[in-house]
């Protein structure tokens, strides 16, 4: 707000500048009263819960996930009567100075989910607000099926809450080539990796004169 040479005094309304240490960032977030009570009951009290609190992640304003985990260090002793939530503080180290004071984001808190079905997000297609997968039946025909997932995810996988059962087979590669009811020849992830490796080696061989002759004469 001031230019070089401007006259200022101790009573000036605007600060000359603000100095911030951003080597470790404090991130403020909230959790519901019910979640806090559940943590306190499990650990005995809220202080014990904070000590055993799992590392949290920070989703940045652009939707990406900050690469370093954070540690929850403090929880308010007061419940917000309007929102029914409790304020907490997490610390994130900031060696690359990527995080800035005043920034926004969302805290991702991991939770235990016993007997959960977890699938890669790459195996899913999304139409508006619905999520679909191709389920492979006993006749190796695919069925385009809607599933529901837990709203909390790690950016790579979904926790399926309905639409899939233990033992179901789904297609994880080549989704764009499929149609509902199409018959396929399923292979495992390991077989898929082997096929990719073979194709890469064949391509490298055909890139040389010796490899090209070998490829042509082997037909």
User: Which of the two residues, 191 and 171, has the higher pLDDT score?
Assistant: 171
Give CA–CA dist 180/136, Å, rounded: 10
Please give the pLDDT value at position 90.
95
Query: Which DSSP symbol is given to 172?
Result: -
Task: Tell me, yes or no, if the two domains 24-108 and 117-185 fold the same way.
Answer: no
Model confidence at 215, pLDDT cuts 50, 70, 90, reads: low
Least confident of 19-33, 117-131, 149-163, 197-211: 197-211
Model confidence at 95, pLDDT cuts 50, 70, 90, reads: very high
Tokens coding 131:
């999520």
Residues with Cβ within 8 Å of residue 96, at least 6 apart in sequence: none
Please give the pLDDT value at position 195.
80
Look up the pTM and report it. 0.54
Q: Where are the domains of the chain?
A: 24-108, 117-185, 187-219
User: E-strand spans in 11-60?
Assistant: 24-32, 57-60
- pLDDT at 216 > cutoff 60: no
- pLDDT at 101 > cutoff 70: yes
What tens digit of pLDDT does each residue of 7-50 get? 777 777 777 777 778 899 999 999 988 888 888 887 778 888 88
- The CATH homologous superfamily to which domain 24-108 belongs is Efflux pump adaptor protein, beta barrel domain (2.40.30.170)
Please give the pLDDT value at position 207.
65
Give CA–CA dist 187/82, Å, rounded: 54
CA distances from 83 to 26, 27, 133 (A): 22, 19, 36
- pLDDT at 218 > cutoff 60: no
pLDDT, average across residues 88-112: 90
Q: What is the CATH number of domain 117-185?
A: 2.40.420.20
Give CA–CA dist 138/140, Å, rounded: 5
Determine how many CB atoms are found less than 10 A away from the CB of residue 131.
Answer: 19
Tokens coding 134:
């191709």
Least confident of 20-34, 128-142, 152-166, 196-210: 196-210
Residues with Cβ within 8 Å of residue 132, at least 6 apart in sequence: 124, 125, 126, 144, 145, 146, 147
User: Which of the two residues, 166 and 202, has the higher pLDDT score?
Assistant: 166
What tens digit of pLDDT does each residue of 66-86 get? 999 999 999 888 888 899 899
**SS3 of residue 196 by DSSP:** helix
Least confident of 10-24, 56-70, 129-143: 10-24
CA 8 to chain centroid, in Å, comes to 49
């Amino acid at each position: 707000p001031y230019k070089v040479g401007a006259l200022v005094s101790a009573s000036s309304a605007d600060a000359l500048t603000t100095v911030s240490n951003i080597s470790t960032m404090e991130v403020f977030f909230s959790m519901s009263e019910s979640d806090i009570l559940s943590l306190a009951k499990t650990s005995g009290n809220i202080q014990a819960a904070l000590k055993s609190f799992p590392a949290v992640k920070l989703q940045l304003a652009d939707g990406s996930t900050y690469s370093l985990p954070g540690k929850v260090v403090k929880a308010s002793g007061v419940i917000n009567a309007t929102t029914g939530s409790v304020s907490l503080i997490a610390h994130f180290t900031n060696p690359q100075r990527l995080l800035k004071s005043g920034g926004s984001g969302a805290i991702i808190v991991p939770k235990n989910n016993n007997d959960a079905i977890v699938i890669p997000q790459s195996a899913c297609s999304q139409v508006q607000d619905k999520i679909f997968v191709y389920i492979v039946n006993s006749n190796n025909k695919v069925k385009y099926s809607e599933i529901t997932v837990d709203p909390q995810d790690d950016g790579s996988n979904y926790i399926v809450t309905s639409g899939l059962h233990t033992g179901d087979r789904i297609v994880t590669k080549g989704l764009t080539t499929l149609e509902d009811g199409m018959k396929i020849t399923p292979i495992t992830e390991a077989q898929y990796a082997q096929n990719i490796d073979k194709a890469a080696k064949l391509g490298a061989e055909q890139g040389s004169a010796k490899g090209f002759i070998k490829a042509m004469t082997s037909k």
